[in-house]
Structure 1
């Protein structure tokens, strides 16, 4: 796998999404990555073609367990208190399978920095490198203040806000944000009907 150093958004987004697959976040549905098939769906949904899955190799049960362990580490990096801690944690993740950076041409012919991964790297280590480089890029480009916990009451989700304005407050705006909007709407209706 070849990971772009300058395009950190995919890795930073995946960091939050992976952390939020935990049953401590998914309290209603439970474990979001219980099987190799759900892990494959998750990775495919993020547009990842990992070398560890080359040749059509499906993830194994061991891969799922390793990803569950990685998920805890990733959450720990997103929840760090300081920028230095986030950088240290991102560097550890990036170093799992990441090799030294190389300068190569992209499909458009422009020179770009990439971090290749070890050809024999296990799935969890390759994913750790992808996420680690994304988190390091997010710290460099946006700052540690973009590593956040979800503002929805009762939600334990985390995310890296890569939005242009930097005002995102929910880990899953379509779920957590919508839930808050519905609750606020019901409260306004209740107060409106009580006033009449």
Structure 2
């Protein structure tokens, strides 16, 4: 796998999405190899570890579960230096030295190739680590956040242009808050009338 150094959004988004598959957030979302396959496909990932139609194994699922705890720890770091140190550890799991290659438009781009034969979780770690490092560099550590929804334990890296995202999963947590606020306004409106 070749990971673009300049396109940090893929890895940074993946960091939060993977951390939020934990049973402590919205319930276990990666219980089986099939669920892991769907997760990878949903993110458009084509990892070398599962090339040629090889499916993730139970061992891959266990290793990804361990990785998501580590990723969550990096997203929850208190300082920028801690985030950079954690991101560097992740990036180094399967990452080789950066290379400068032409992209499809013949422009020079930086890439980090992964080690041939690297396990699935190590390839994911490298992709996420590079994404987190890129997010710190481009956006700052203050974009590493916990979900603002009451009771939610989700985390995310806000890569939005305005930097005002507050929910780990806007369609779930944000919608839940909006519905609760709407019901409260209706209740107060009925009580006043």
Alignment match, 1:14 = 14
> Which secondary structure state, in structure 1, belongs to the residue aligned with residue 145 of structure 2?
strand
What SS does structure 2 have at the residue aligned with 1:103?
Answer: strand
1:128 to 125, 129, 146: 125
Give, in angstroms, the shift of residue 107 of structure 1: 1.1
Q: 65, 77, 81: which is aligned to 1:80?
A: 77
Aligned to 1:92: 89
What is the RMSD of the two structures over their aligned residues, measured on CA atoms?
0.4
| Structure 1 runs, 4 residues or longer, greater than 3 Å off | none
Q: With structure 2 as the length reference, what TM-score do the two structures score?
A: 0.99
Of the candidates 83, 106, 110, which is equivalent to residue 109 of structure 1?
A: 106
For 1:78 and 1:107, how far apart are their aligned partners in 2? 32
Q: Which runs of 5+ in 1 are unaligned?
A: none
- 3-state SS, counterpart of residue 109 of structure 1: coil
| Cα shift at 1:79 | 0.1
**Count, aligned residues:** 193
How far off its partner does 1:54 sit?
1.1
1:49 and 2:46 equivalent?
yes
1:30-73 CA distance string (max 9 Å, x none): 21000000000000100100000111110000000000000000
Instruction: Tell me, in whole angstroms, the C-alpha distance in 1 between the residues paired with 2:134 and 2:13.
Output: 11
> C-alpha distance in 2, partners of 1:107/1:38?
32
Query: Structure 2: any 5+ residue segments left out of the alignment?
Result: none
| Cα displacement string for residues 55-109 of structure 1 (whole angstroms, at most 9, x for unaligned residues) | 1110000000000000000000000000000000000000000000000011111
